[in-house]
A and B are shown apart, each in its own frame.
Chain A
Amino acid sequence: MSVAPVLTSIAAQADSLLAEQAPFVRPAIDWHAVAPELVLLFTGALVTIVDLIGLEKVRKIIPTLTSLTFLAALIPVITLWADNDELPRQMFDGAWVVDEYSLVLKGLFLLTGYIIVLISTNYMLEGDYYDSEYYQLISASIVGMLVMSSARDLVTIFVAIELVSIPAYLMAAWRKRDLRSNEAGLKYMLMGVFASSIMLYGMSLLYGTAGSTKLTDIGAVLSQGETRPMLTLAIVFTIIGFGFKVSAVPFHTWAPDTYEGAPTPLTAFLAVASKAAGFVALVSVVIYAFPGRADVVEPFIWVLSALTMTIGNLIAMRQTNIVRMLAYSGIAQAGYMLAPLAVFGDRPAQAQSAIVTYLVIYAAMNLGAFAVVIALARKTGSGEISSYGGTFNYAPGLTAAMTAFLFSLAGIPPVGGWFAKFEIFRILTDGGEPWGIALAVIAAVNSVLAAFYYLSIAKQMWFMPAPDGDDSPVVIPPTLQAALVITLIVTIVSGTVLVGQVSDLTDFAIQLP
């Protein structure tokens, strides 16, 4: 029996099946709107190819090339910002949105990436062995963050959050022969993957409820009717997934161990960029998809926020290692950043802008603090706070810079941090609800607690003698100097001369369904 007639009949069936479907039409693509991601993707790929071809010869310039790719990707962000009348640009039926909110965040992520490369350069060059893949993984992770800022669809958000996290798992375990780095990577990877899977389960239930993965569609469906148990489960699971990414208590257990064991520049990356990406996802999902279910979201976030800031600060107080202390302080700061979402129901736009303001200022001050830690570790080779004595004698500039960053983290004027905290307190107390004011009181008590341990480091640096009596100066390489100068300038001006500009920059208009 010949097979030809059978094949023909199969082909005929396939044709008739295809004919029933509407012909595929490619959705319109606004190339300008995706230009930042595409530029970073292609220049990043180009750097990889240069690295593969040049090998040893191009080693020294790979960090420079990588930082240039971030600046190149910043150009379309600026042109999109300049073309203000066109905003918001939408694609794929509103699943991809470029508005002022996403552009500010893209700028933030690209500049953070630039500074991370600056502080990594000498650390990686002088390490046990050189690996240029490190920079390519940072680029990949930053692409994920850029996608995250524009994503308004569960599938896109999921893919973006994984694109941010998977390179970070690898970078946490970067020092292959160091057991502590291995352990950091293992803990981060297991917790991260577990968190993603729980978040996905929540997302699948959200999709089942709304019949769509678009955030605004889900928001429209969720705004109607009663709160059903399945919806509560979906919302809680989704927020738990993001809670892991932003290291909110009780989902924070990976953070201090990973921060301590990972290479320090990567710790700065996790504490600033990766956490900011988690917040962006959380804010987008809560503001666009859950506005009608504030009755579920607000109490849950309230508890998370109060726990996160209190436990983060209490444990930070008894740390002796500066990196662990910064890890717990970062957890506490995440608690402040969560707070606006506990009262977002009546004023989502204000909550969004308060969180982005905090993220921008937090990025500058925390990166700066990590840059000082990396600079001092070049001399002391230790992360113990007790080894920070005498720095005023041999590194007065670094000491002054660290003091500015610590004051900013504690929220003491005139450096940037006070304005970030002020915005949080303002949104919490504006509505006059008792629970908002209660959370503001908890945050205020925590700010005092936090000032205690931040200032004890400043005291150690200014007044204590060097433990080994060694007062030789620290050599700071130019890249690290550049990172310090940029972060110091942003930290200082964001709290003084440019306060108005920062608040204008983060003043968004949002469209809700």
Chain B
Amino acid sequence: MFLNQFLLFAAALFCIGVYGVLTRKNGVLMLMSIELILNAVNINLVAFGAYTGTISGQVFALFVIAVAAAEVGVGLAIVLLIYRNRRSIDVSEADLLQG
């Protein structure tokens, strides 16, 4: 089995995603970076599932895909709300609450 390649690929995706979340200021791009992390998780789960010969990895990945869709649906709704009220989705401009 070539488990290592999958794990390294997933780790790279994970790092790109975390980097994106930490540096991007645009709400939609932050959500997309989070999607990258979730895809890294799915690759891990499916690779481990094939490696260990158990079904729960694939099932877990399906759950992650479904729940991620719900999360992003809610996330985009909130970003849209911000855009309607401020005409901008720059997260760094949302600074009314501080301290």
Which residues of A approach B to under 8 Å, CB–CB? Answer: 154-155, 158-159, 162, 166, 169-170, 173, 176-177, 179-180, 182-187, 189-190, 193-194, 196-198, 200-201, 203-205, 207-208, 211-213, 256-257, 260-261, 319, 324
Contacts and interface: CB of A to CB of B under 8 A. Distances in A.
Contacts of A179: 85-86, 96
Contacts of B64: 158, 200
Contact of B60 (A170, A187, A213): A213
A182 B81 contact: yes
Contacts of A190: 21, 27, 30-31, 34, 75, 91
Given A162-B70, A186-B94, A211-B54, A256 B44 contact: no
A208 B47 CA distance: 9
Q: Is the interface of B mostly helix, strand, loop or mixed?
A: helix
B81 A176 contact: yes
A189 B63 CA distance: 19
Interface of B: 10, 14, 17-18, 21, 27, 30-31, 34, 37-38, 40-41, 44-45, 47-48, 51-54, 56-57, 59-60, 63-64, 67, 70-71, 74-75, 77-79, 81-82, 85-86, 91, 94-99
A155 B91 contact: no
A270 to B, nearest CB: 14
Contacts of A159: 63, 67
Nearest to A209: B48
A114 to B, nearest CB: 25
Contact of A197 (B34, B56, B91, B96): B34
Contacts of B31: 190, 193
A192 to B, nearest CB: 8
B91 to A, nearest CB: 7
A324 B56 CA distance: 42
Given A183-B96, A256-B99, A173 B75 contact: no
A205 B74 contact: no
A201 B48 contact: no
A257 B95 CA distance: 9
Given A201-B40, A261-B96, A173 B81 contact: yes
A212 B41 contact: no
Contacts of A194: 21, 34, 37
B98 A207 contact: no
The 8 closest A-B pairs by CB, nearest first: A208-B48, A211-B52, A204-B44, A257-B97, A197-B37, A183-B94, A200-B41, A213-B56
Given A166-B71, A193-B75, 10 more contacts: A158-B64, A184-B97, A193-B71, A194-B37, A204-B45, A204-B60, A205-B44, A208-B47, A212-B56, A319-B99
Contacts of B98: 257
Contacts of A158: 60, 63-64, 67
Contacts of B59: 155
B60 A212 contact: no
A180 B96 contact: yes
A290 B37 CA distance: 24
Given A155-B63, A182-B82, A207-B56, A187 B94 contact: yes
A201 B37 contact: yes
A169 B99 CA distance: 21
A5 to B, nearest CB: 33
